[in-house]
Structure 1
Amino acid sequence: PAFVVPLDHAHAPFLESYNYAVAQGATAEWRKMEGVAVDPINNKLYIAISEIGKGMSDGEGAIQLEENICGAVYVADLDAEMNISTLSPLVVGGPYDESNEENPCSVDSIANPDNVFVDSTGTLWIGEDTGEHANNMLWTWDGSELKRFATLPAGSEVTGLHISANGTVFMNVQHPDGVNLYPYNRGTIGVVTGFTAGDTFDAVAVPTGNDAHKVVVAGGEYQVLGRMGSPIPNDLHGARLGQLDMADGSREICNNPDGNMYLPV
């Protein structure tokens, strides 16, 4: 297809960002690069690659890796000017078993990492956005051990991951199935109470029964701060959380609390 503007045009970096970057020699083969987190304690950069495939595994170009449907989190050392020169796999998903309909990616590791966050202790938190686990999971990586901190209700993914400076863990539940247990039959914005990042915990099990239809955390309790479709307290117009007012006057409810977080104060 024709370019919106020629690549030598002053606006090309903004209107043709991908093609302009390639023309400048940048690597543009990434497949599903998602969350990025900086660890100022250990001067590291973490990048979630949801899936290693297509341009990353086609045997052409600068990136030539084996396909991994389950994805990986990569790490790089930051120099004094915040530049990186090498990316290395840190936490790798899989192995992949196509015959396992519920969990094609091993439940003992990550699948399609999305949200990543580094807490004040330097521990990396990894949230999934996957259809390769029956229940999406929230993991921690402390530099030596990968542990399952939370499992989410069926059909949902981890979004809005944030760990405040005092170690409070915030996490959203996005687009859960309607058959889940209340209140998890709609998207939620929430916080883990009674637990501080850095506390020791035993990994939660892969959920079965009712646990597969609610949030299960390894420490403390997941407290719902807001549920999509619920009335916003004291709103003069009776608005509901996630409400969309359409041009035709109708109203809809968004079930996808992604980056929508209450500000930690």
Structure 2
Amino acid sequence: MNKNKRVKTGVTAALALAISVPAWAPAEAFSPKHMKVESVQFNGMESPKTIDEMVQTYTTATVDVTYSNGKVTSYPLSYQSLFKSEDKVATVNGEKIPAGTPIDVNGQPIKDPSSPTGDYFVSDAPDSNSVLNPIGGKLYMVTHYEYQTIDKAGNSAYGLVPASMSLTTLNQSKKTGELTPKNVQKIDFSEVNGLWIPCNGSLSPWNTHLGSEEYEPDARAYLDPTSTTRSQVDTFGKLYFGEEDKANPYFYGYIPEISINKKGESSVVKHYSTGRFSHEMTKVMPDNRTLYFGDDGSQTAMFMYVADREKDLSAGTLYAAKFHQTGTKTGGSGDLEWIKLSHSTDKEVKAIIDSGITFEDIFESSDVPKEGFTAIKTYANNGKVEYLKLKPGQEKAAALLESRRYAALLGATTEFNKMEGLALNAQDHALYMAIADQSKGMEKDLTGKDPVDDIQLPKLKSGVTYQLNLLGNQKDRKGALIQSDYVAKSMKGLLVGEDLKAPDAYGNTANVDKIANPDNLSYSDAMNTLFIGEDSSAHTNNFVWAYNLETKELDRILSTPVGAESTGLFAADDRKGFSYIFSNFQHPGDEVAGKTITAVDKNALLEAVDEQIGINQTGGVGYISGLPSLRNTEKK
């Protein structure tokens, strides 16, 4: 945050802003007539200081808008809630159910077996939002419900309960731009064997939603009937299909694409040819063919996919990166070398899965060194070294079903940690990538036991946001030309957090005026601004930040409830003449009990969260309003 700016905080500021501008007056209503917006600069807010502030989702930030006539006007921002995941706004078979309730293969709401009254599961973790460009004059929003933290009995339900997405038809006021949910429908995933843990997502340039399935179940561990993975997949199968043995680990870990037709009906396909790993999200480059992904977890890889045809992700070539470190300053830097894994089609990979293939059909494996076997270390084996040997003729199956393991076998780097969101700045040929926690595999190996040690960067638990430079005429490791003008050649730190030696009075273990654990990223071309949402236990309250690429100013523009993660970040420059920044929150109150907080009464804080929201009971879906219309914005 720019500490030289004067900012208002708390209830006084909120009241002042509410008085200064009518509740639903858009910024456009107060802007100079017929003037183009030339630049936008956010003015940040202070971090929450009171229990009341710490429990709310709110903003007291403002935005300065410079018009083409030189006039500068400041507008207050506000946060508008659409619904909570526990709200009964979704319609299934004529019944109103909570928005965050998953449905099974037959389209029925899934009940929580631990509930004595037969309640439905309700995810407390709404994540990605894509607000599509108008279809048939209507606005639609796709929202992820990432997971269920606990069941009704208070037991962990993470990764056990089938996940879901919803499709919301939004009403928009023609006068003010205010959005309200007209109806909410659950999206049917029965044609693709259900939905694993969907984290972040993106809107494709051709107006479809690209989802995700992160933390793919380990197909090697699944073969052990006593493993946690086996229990997880079987529980998923029981709840979704009604039968434990119907779920297959190779069903999950891909990119689902959701299309909406003019009748407002959704359809889903999974793109198996883009590889199977911990898909955090996908970002499509301006050529409508090149894709980059987040691979969340520890000991993960960087992947790139180049489709055969524009706007068609059913066939293409998958690559993985080798990181060549060049520096350690500002989070670090390195050059990227791309290794081709395989060319394939969705149809080909689906046929391999349907054949009943298992991990043992693809690899010979060992937990100790063995002649002819290669040592690798990846997330899929819980970050432990394993020794693999590819079986004859299984190259394609390995590349597409065990993408990270196969990448490691071919020499790609699998040392990234918590690789999260992506955002594209097309004009500058820059891709932004969030590393939420720069530690573990990204540190220098001091034991000498790791198979490779490509990344040797400073430990930074509060994370780094990187900039990747995109170029054409690049070749892969074998010298073959990569058919893309958007190949990431190098990466360097753009924004870094600051770890504290000891927690402050609010329990923060990272500097509260810098980013901690960047996760969601969204770039606005019209505002020349990178928005960053946090998934941080290092910050007791998580924030959304605005980073102006021209002025290099960083400003806090939203605070979420204590213990809650900021999710669903999506900057919409123009939706029928109005502009929005969508942002959700999930799992409020989580991990607060374990913090040392002296600035406020921690017990009173927890009571307030539980009373006003519910700890790990629900999440919120909403957006920041008050932006001017950016339809005619000119980027400098």
Distance 1:173 1:75 in 2: 26
Counterpart in the other structure of 2:622: 190
Alpha carbons of structure 1 residues 83 and 183: separation in structure 2 relative to 1, 3 Å: farther
1:90 and 2:485 aligned: no
Counterpart in the other structure of 2:515: 110
Question: Contact 1:172–1:187 at 8 Å: present in 2 too?
Answer: yes
Q: Which amino acid aligns with 1:130?
A: S
Q: CA deviation at 1:173?
A: 1.1
Counterpart in the other structure of 1:175: 587
> What are the Cα deviations for residues 73-102 of structure 1, in whole angstroms up to 9, with x where unaligned?
000111141111111000001133234361
Structure 1: stretches of 5+ with no match in the other structure? 199-265
> What are the Cα deviations for residues 26-78 of structure 1, in whole angstroms up to 9, with x where unaligned?
11100111111111122100000010111100336111101101001000111
Q: CA deviation at 1:172?
A: 0.5
Q: 1:123 aligns with which of 507, 510, 529?
A: 529
Q: CA deviation at 1:128?
A: 0.2
Q: CA deviation at 1:197?
A: 8.7
Alpha carbons of structure 1 residues 132 and 49: separation in structure 2 relative to 1, 3 Å: same
Structure 2: stretches of 5+ with no match in the other structure? 1-219, 222-358, 364-389, 446-451, 473-484, 590-605, 631-636
> What are the Cα deviations for residues 197-238 of structure 1, in whole angstroms up to 9, with x where unaligned?
98xxxxxxxxxxxxxxxxxxxxxxxxxxxxxxxxxxxxxxxx
Q: Which amino acid aligns with 1:145?
A: E
Distance 1:93 1:33 in 2: 15
> How many residue pairs were aligned?
198
Q: CA deviation at 1:20?
A: 0.3
Distance 2:520 2:539 in 1: 16
1:140 and 2:546 aligned: yes
User: Counterparts of 1:14-93 in structure 2 under 5 Å?
Assistant: 14-59=400-445, 61-80=453-472, 81-93=485-497
Distance 1:104 1:34 in 2: 20
Distance 1:111 1:85 in 2: 26
Q: Which amino acid aligns with 2:536?
A: T
Q: Which amino acid aligns with 2:587?
A: H
Q: 1:157 aligns with which of 553, 562, 565?
A: 565
Deviates more, 1:71-80 or 1:175-184: 175-184
Alpha carbons of structure 1 residues 13 and 150: separation in structure 2 relative to 1, 3 Å: same
Distance 1:50 1:92 in 2: 10
Q: Which amino acid aligns with 1:158?
A: S
Question: Contact 1:119–1:197 at 8 Å: present in 2 too?
Answer: no
Distance 2:415 2:619 in 1: 33
Alpha carbons of structure 1 residues 94 and 197: separation in structure 2 relative to 1, 3 Å: farther
The secondary structure found in structure 2 opposite 1:109 is coil
Distance 1:110 1:13 in 2: 35
CA RMSD of aligned residues (A): 2.3
TM-score normalised over the length of structure 2: 0.30
Question: Contact 2:399–2:407 at 8 Å: present in 1 too?
Answer: yes
Question: Contact 1:70–1:96 at 8 Å: present in 2 too?
Answer: no
Counterpart in the other structure of 1:206: none
Greater C-alpha radius of gyration:
2
Is the strand fraction higher in 1 or 2? 2
Question: Contact 1:51–1:71 at 8 Å: present in 2 too?
Answer: yes
Q: CA deviation at 1:195?
A: 2.3
User: Counterparts of 1:232-251 in structure 2 under 5 Å?
Assistant: none
Q: CA deviation at 1:136?
A: 0.2
Distance 2:560 2:416 in 1: 28
Is the helix fraction higher in 1 or 2? 2
Question: Contact 2:434–2:520 at 8 Å: present in 1 too?
Answer: yes
Question: Contact 1:169–1:196 at 8 Å: present in 2 too?
Answer: no
Distance 1:39 1:25 in 2: 30
Distance 2:557 2:529 in 1: 12
Considering Cα pairs closer than 8 Å and 6+ residues apart, tell me whether 1 or 2 has the greater RCO: 2
Alpha carbons of structure 1 residues 182 and 173: separation in structure 2 relative to 1, 3 Å: farther
Q: Which amino acid aligns with 2:542?
A: N
Q: Which amino acid aligns with 1:67?
A: K
